Amino acid sequence: MTVSLRYFEIHSFADPGRPHSGNPAGVVLMDNFLSDSELLGIANSNNLSETAFIVPRGEDCWHLRWFTPTVEVDLCGHATFAAGAVVLEEGLVKGRTAAFDTRSGRLAVSRDNKGDGYAMDLPIIAFEPTAKSAAIEAALGVETSPQAVFDVTRIHGARYQMWVMADEAAVRLAEPDHGRLRALETNIILTAPGDKTDFVSRFFAPTSGVDEDPVTGSAHCTLAPYWGERLDKMRLSARQIGPRPGALDVAPKGGRVTLYGHAPRYLDGRITV
């Protein structure tokens, strides 16, 4: 049976006024979920780092699942942000907030009261100090050694680490060997103080099917509490500075973090499967 589904591509955490920035996410509106193989096939055909599939659960609430081109994941910030922007802009939310029930619990997206963007509530992702691996350092292609290394709670099934560098240049100039990182079964958040923002980062996730993600919401669930404590600030400015950059603010509080940013629509239409 052929099914026609509404489809959107949203550029989450884009620089205001700068086209082709931020992290592209697919959003598919559905009455009911198709089979896992169909969902994975759609995500693979979209060939974006994540596609969000949402099914109504009640007033202002949806069931949300995320797929990379190769796997279903437990948390994706930028695709949740995109899904929230879609339902809010399409007039599908009667109140002020869109709620999503997910593998990571209930998440929420609302309009930002201080601007024309959106605000998203996510859980903080914990981290703890660990020793530096020479093999990972070689695979990352960094020119200087990290100031600190942390193990991060796994969210996509793979091992996660956060490497803290001395300055923005060390993050910008890194030339990772994604094949070696994949073989080491490790995804890496690379971060440092920013030249014009509180902090910058890049995120490499070859083990989850994404060599370098443009602007990663879930990574900021670890970055926000780390830099908030280090800089003693309640709201911080951030940039992800890979080949496709973007910007956001983060505000950690208790066990949660709020991410603020823009989510321009790049396209909308229908897909047929």
Instruction: Please give the Cα distance from 162 to 216 (Å, whole number).
Output: 13
What are 2's two structure tokens?
Answer: 């052929």
State whether residue 264 is helix, strand or coil.
coil
Active site residue 50: yes
Among candidates 247, 171, 250, 248, which has minimal Cα distance to 212? 171
Cα-Cα-Cα-Cα dihedral sign, residues 54, 208, 41, 20: positive
Instruction: Please give the Cα distance from 111 to 161 (Å, whole number).
Output: 32
For residue 153, the tally of other CB atoms under 10 A from its CB is: 13
Three-point CA angle 72, 75, 77, nearest 5°: 120
Among candidates 254, 260, 23, which has minimal Cα distance to 124? 254
Q: Which residues pair with 193 in a beta bridge?
A: 199
Burial class from Cβ neighbours inside 10 Å (0-12, 13-18, 19+) for residue 255 reads: exposed
Catalytic residue among 50, 72, 168, 212: 50
Catalytic residues: 50
